[in-house]
Amino acid sequence: MVSEKKSAVAVIMGSDSDMAVMQSCIEGLRDFGVEPIVRIISAHRTPQIAAEFAQNAAKNGIKVIIAAAGMAAHLAGAVASRTTLPVIGVPMISGSGLEGIDALLSTMQMPPGVPVATMAVGKAGAKNAAILAVQILALSDEALAEKLAKFKKEQEKKVTEKDSALQ
């Protein structure tokens, strides 16, 4: 059994091959001062570990779970079925030749009562998952809310600077 460090966000992925994409999520969280728990947990190869992780997440101080998986992409749904915490799914591109569409559909097609907030496929989705997790935490954390407002202003500034450069 892996001992859990305390963190408000967990980033779990079905395979170590997902780490290259999910690193942008992990770094995005760290940019806001959120140090995530990072685990490799498979819905199919380690179902008992996935179930125990989900069932104990809230007790371990986790407030948001980000789950990335490709192909069948059942990780986010399997975790969401065993917790009341918000689960954010990041569909991954696998070797199926479908460019992640298979994972996208598996992640978002959840039955009523078991929601998964589904991001875009791959790196853009990984980055947005971090931001959505921070937005959820910012509802009850004023310091994070301020960091998030600053981030939004910086986004605006980058776009207006690029626009000005064209004029």
Q: Where are the domains of the chain?
A: 9-142
For range 143-165, the mean pLDDT: 96
Check pLDDT > 90 for residue 95: no
Q: Are 76 and 21 in contact (CB under 8 A)?
A: no
Q: Which residues contact 14 (CB under 8 A, 6 or more apart)?
A: 40, 41, 42, 43, 44, 68, 69, 70, 73, 75, 92
Domain 9-142 has CATH 3.40.50.1970: yes
Identity (one letter) of the amino acid at 27? E
Q: What proportion of the chain, given as a percentage, has pLDDT over 70? A: 97
